[in-house]
Amino acid sequence: MTVRDVAVEILLQIEKNQAYSNLLLNSMIKKHQVNSKDISLLTEIVYGTLQRRDTLDFYLEGFLKKAKKIEPWVRVLLRISVYQMVYLDRVPERAIFFEAVEIAKKRGHKGISSFVNGVLRSVQREGIPDLNVIKEPDERLSIKTSHPKWLVQKWIKQFGFDEAEKMCESNLLAPSQTARVNQIKKTVHEIISELQSKDISVEQGDLAVDAIKGMKGNLALTEAFSEGLLTIQDESSMLVARALNPKENETILDSCAAPGGKSTHIAELMKGTGIVHSLDLHEHKVKLIKQQADRLNLKNIQAETMDSRLAGDRFTKESFDRILVDAPCSGFGVIRRKPDIKYTKSQQDVLKLAELQKNILASVAPLLKSNGVLVYSTCTVDEEENRGVVETFLNEHQNFERDESAINNFPEKLHPYVHKGEVQLLPHYFETDGFYIACLRKKG
Ligand SMILES: C[S@@+](CC[C@H](N)C(=O)[O-])C[C@H]1O[C@@H](n2cnc3c(N)ncnc32)[C@H](O)[C@@H]1O
């Protein structure tokens, strides 16, 4: 199968089965033994086409008017072809046309291949339509950046038009790769010079003191990763354990812990002492926490499969020094990494998730000691989750208050975004994931 054959197959499965783009891409690369030089083109076509799906449909609309019903695979093929024509300078148009026609012949018949050829030739001849013909600003932003209109309208209401526009545009960029240094084993400077001596160019991160950035290629394949010196993690996520601020020998609950990014960070900050109880609802995901703890040689993590809404049946009241609720959320902060999120998540999902987050917080709150710290975090930017959930929690739990101590020690460049013990990072502020962190304390 050629790169474009595989791209059509992946995009079709995402559409039909709502498969996760990142997981499916990795498994298809393995299944079809895509060679390393083709992986970047495949990734670019799959993510680019997915990121710009609605824009591409808008471009194609005028050329498809006379067509009766278009089969899903034909639409996907046209989308990837127009994506390459419009956004990828280095791919010659004759290669795009030739491959599109070959795929259409293989998957369909001669009639379909002439149809595909005809549509693409018309796009080439007449050019793509100007997006400025869309008069309504919210509709134009929705089509231009390929975010559903309800979400664009919600973000305009929440952040204002300019901020919403910046966020939608930055969601189209490729995510950066950062890693956390396991500071039990090496300092950030030691790791940087070690990697540089192997011609891997890296530098210190911008926001988190544990971060290195700028690496190209797959970090999971490096020696430093398999030796447990590094964990791939976005810098915004690294701020969560710093906000929790665990101390050596403490007892910590991480109530939604898989795949273990933050549990392992907490365990590292405790230098392998004390205990981190890491819960997750799904058994297969709990295995991932154990794998990460083993890779990093962390003995102070105890991972268990459990619904954290039932944690009160398993643990005694007031038994934890600190609790983290890194909650299941809509994920609107990680659209760069998982573009499918913007098409699959609905406002109803947001409301359900906010309810689940409130229930998890309410269940774990009694397990925290007096003066203990509760951190609630999400990788979303949605106000009905995030701030809305914290406000409901504080109204219903008068024995809790906002806690500014740890979050005020964040690097100075974050200060404009820190307010009363909470921080909302949007992806365009520092090219990180969009992330929300709130620190609360149980009154003594
Ligand atoms: C945002 S992810 C956690 C990421 C993790 N903290 C990390 O840094 O790697 C949310 C997790 O919550 C889990 N989850 C969802 N509902 C849950 C529940 N009721 N109890 C425990 N875990 C739950 C999901 O399986 C998912 O792994």
pLDDT digits (tens, 9 = 90+) for 136-154: 999 999 999 999 999 999 9
Q: Is position 421 annotated in a ligand binding site? A: no
- What pLDDT, on the 0 to 100 scale, is given for residue 19? 74
pTM of the model: 0.94
For residue 130, the one-letter residue type is D
Residue 256, ligand 1, Cβ within 6 A: yes
Judged by DSSP in three states, 184 sits in coil
Q: Rounded to the nearest whole angstrom, what is the distance from the C-alpha of residue 204 to the centroid of ligand 1? A: 29
Residue 328, ligand 1, Cβ within 6 A: yes
Judged by DSSP in three states, 107 sits in helix
Q: How far apart are CA 301 and CA 297, in angstroms?
A: 10
Chain length of the chain = 444
Residue 232, ligand 1, Cβ within 6 A: no
For every residue of 276-302, DSSP letters joined together read EEEEES-HHHHHHHHHHHHHTT--SEE
Indicate the top mutation candidate among 263, 279, 281 to test ligand 1's pocket, ranked by most ligand atoms within 8 A of CB.
281
Residue 78, ligand 1, Cβ within 6 A: no
CB 207 within 8 A of CB 239: yes
Which residue has a Cα nearest atom 27 of ligand 1? Answer: 258
For residue 310, the one-letter residue type is L
- What pLDDT, on the 0 to 100 scale, is given for residue 296? 97
Q: How far apart are CA 293 and CA 442, in angstroms?
A: 29
Which atom of ligand 1 approaches the CA of 254 most closely? Answer: 6
- What pLDDT, on the 0 to 100 scale, is given for residue 409? 85
Which atom of ligand 1 approaches the CA of 282 most closely? Answer: 25
Burial status of residue 32 (CB atoms within 10 A of its CB: 0-12, 13-18, 19 or more): middle
Q: Rounded to the nearest whole angstrom, what is the distance from the C-alpha of residue 81 to the centroid of ligand 1? A: 37
Q: Is position 280 annotated in a ligand binding site? A: yes
CB 96 within 8 A of CB 84: yes
Residue 250, ligand 1, Cβ within 6 A: no
Q: Is position 329 annotated in a ligand binding site? A: no
- What pLDDT, on the 0 to 100 scale, is given for residue 331? 98
User: Omega before 366 cis (within 30°)?
Assistant: no
Q: Where are the alpha helices (DSSP H) in 133-282?
A: 137-145, 149-159, 161-170, 188-197, 223-226, 235-244, 261-269
Q: Is position 427 annotated in a ligand binding site? A: no
Which residue has a Cα nearest atom 13 of ligand 1? Answer: 256
CB 266 within 8 A of CB 276: yes
CB 369 within 8 A of CB 321: yes
List the beta bridge partners of residue 326: 377
- What pLDDT, on the 0 to 100 scale, is given for residue 348? 98
Which residue has a Cα nearest atom 6 of ligand 1? Answer: 257
Residue 309, ligand 1, Cβ within 6 A: yes
Which residue has a Cα nearest atom 10 of ligand 1? Answer: 328
Q: Rounded to the nearest whole angstrom, what is the distance from the C-alpha of residue 240 to the centroid of ligand 1? A: 14
Catalytically active residues, by annotation: 379
Residue 261, ligand 1, Cβ within 6 A: yes
- What DSSP designation does 209 have? T
Extract the tokens encoding 175. Answer: 């995510």
Q: Is position 261 annotated in a ligand binding site? A: yes
What digits encode the pLDDT tens for the residues 334-380? Answer: 999 999 999 999 999 999 999 999 999 999 999 999 999 999 999 99
- What pLDDT, on the 0 to 100 scale, is given for residue 200? 84
Which residue has a Cα nearest atom 7 of ligand 1? Answer: 261
| Torsions phi, psi for 442 (to 5 deg) | -85, 125
For residue 59, the one-letter residue type is Y
Cβ atoms within 10 A of the Cβ of 402, count? 15
Q: How far apart are CA 305 and CA 416, in angstroms?
A: 38
Which residue has a Cα nearest atom 15 of ligand 1? Answer: 328
For every residue of 93-108, DSSP letters joined together read HHHHHHHHHHHHHHHS
Using the structure block, give the residue that is written with the tokens 């995510």.
Answer: 175
Q: Can you state the percent helix, strand and coil of the chain, rounding each to 5?
A: 55, 15, 35
Residue 148, ligand 1, Cβ within 6 A: no
**Crossing angle, helix 3-17 and helix 93-107, to 10 degrees?**
60
Q: Rounded to the nearest whole angstrom, what is the distance from the C-alpha of residue 332 to the centroid of ligand 1? A: 16
Which atom of ligand 1 approaches the CA of 307 most closely? Answer: 20
- Sign of the dihedral through C-alpha 190, 191, 197, 203: negative
Residue 413, ligand 1, Cβ within 6 A: no
Judged by DSSP in three states, 307 sits in coil
Which residue has a Cα nearest atom 19 of ligand 1? Answer: 307
Q: What is the dihedral of CA 225, 230, 236, 239, to 10 degrees?
A: 150
Q: Rounded to the nearest whole angstrom, what is the distance from the C-alpha of residue 330 to the centroid of ligand 1? A: 12
Q: Mean pLDDT over all residues of the chain?
A: 95
Burial status of residue 199 (CB atoms within 10 A of its CB: 0-12, 13-18, 19 or more): exposed
Rounded to the nearest angstrom, the gap between the alpha carbon of residue 94 and the centroid of all alpha carbons in its chain is 35
For the chain, give me the number of helices (H) and strands (E)?
20, 13
- What pLDDT, on the 0 to 100 scale, is given for residue 20? 77
Q: List the chain residues with pLDDT less than 70.
A: none
Sheet containing strand 230-232, edge to edge, reads 203-204, 211-213, 178-181, 230-232
CB 218 within 8 A of CB 242: no
Q: How far apart are CA 216 and CA 83, in angstroms?
A: 24
Q: Is position 307 annotated in a ligand binding site? A: yes
Q: Which domains does the chain have, with CATH numbers?
A: 3-130 (1.10.940.10), 178-232 (3.30.70.1170), 237-442 (3.40.50.150)
